[in-house]
Homo-oligomer: A and B are copies of this chain.
Amino acid sequence: MRIGEIAALVGVTSRAVRHYHHMGLLPEPERRANGYRVYSVRDAVLLARIRRLSELGLSLDEVRDVLADDAGRELAEVLGELDADLARQEEEIRGRRRRLAELMTEPLPPEGPVSPTLARLLRAAPDTDSAMAAKDRELLVLLDTAGGGEEFYEALHPLLEDPGVLSLYARLDELAEAAADDPRVGPLADALTAVVPEALLDAIPEGDGPPVPEGVGAAIFRDFSPAQAEVGRLVMEALGRMRKRRTTKTDGKKPE
């Protein structure tokens, strides 16, 4: 047999046969004077085993190992972990399809696909063209992608649905060109601090170190005007104090 014949017989391509030679799965057979490979029935049988094994999903390396120890000992073992691997893949695909199905039933927000929980939150939020609100949404999406926040979306619902919050956004927007010492900064920071729900306190602090790796915070603040940044700083400070008071009061929850 020549290579095309053995390939057709077993149901693979000539190219694959040569590849198996190259990988050491199938020994190089004799050559005819013109250089053509000549295959025997024994080669075909071996090639057939290679095809069957690789069709089951074994990698060529695994196929080589299985063929090497001709007892069925290793085969059973490999097949076992192969099945486990396939089970894992199947589960993963199902997970992806679940997420896909969720995405396709609900209209997805313009920010792109996000977790269904956040999608509901964003849909519930009132429509606005506030620049600050847009940034907030972006940060929420970021947090969502980072896998962070799921747990306090609940706490945010009353906030985002509250039309009163829109006026706070408006006041922030008004500071888009203001300096850090603008007189409106202080009162706005107080007003914002007042509406931040308890749940956020858990999210922000996280000990002594910066909650976000420094550069991230800097990047966020760089999008703000000096006045807006100052408001942010003040709110963060106030939240830090609130947290400290709370932890000293309730104390040793997780002494670790």
Contact = CB atoms under 8 A, between A and B. Distances in A.
Interface residues of A, number: 65
Interface in A1-46: 1-2, 5-6, 8-11, 39-42, 44-45
A215 B1 contact: yes
A93 interface: yes
A99 interface: yes
A111 interface: yes
Interface of A: 1-2, 5-6, 8-11, 39-42, 44-45, 48-49, 51-53, 56-57, 72, 75-76, 79-80, 82-83, 86-87, 89-90, 93-94, 96-97, 99-101, 103-104, 108, 110-114, 135, 138-139, 141-142, 145-147, 212-216, 218-220, 222-223
Interface of A is mostly: helix
A90 B6 CA distance: 31
A41 B5 contact: no
A198 B171 CA distance: 92
Contacts of A113: 49, 52-53, 56, 75
Nearest to A12: B145
Contacts of A108: 72, 75
A44 B142 contact: yes
A6 B80 CA distance: 40
B97 A146 contact: no
A222 B40 contact: yes
A87 B93 CA distance: 8
B75 A11 contact: no
Q: In the complex, which of the residues A45, A79, A114, A218 has the most CB atoms of chain B within 10 Å of its own CB atom?
A: A45
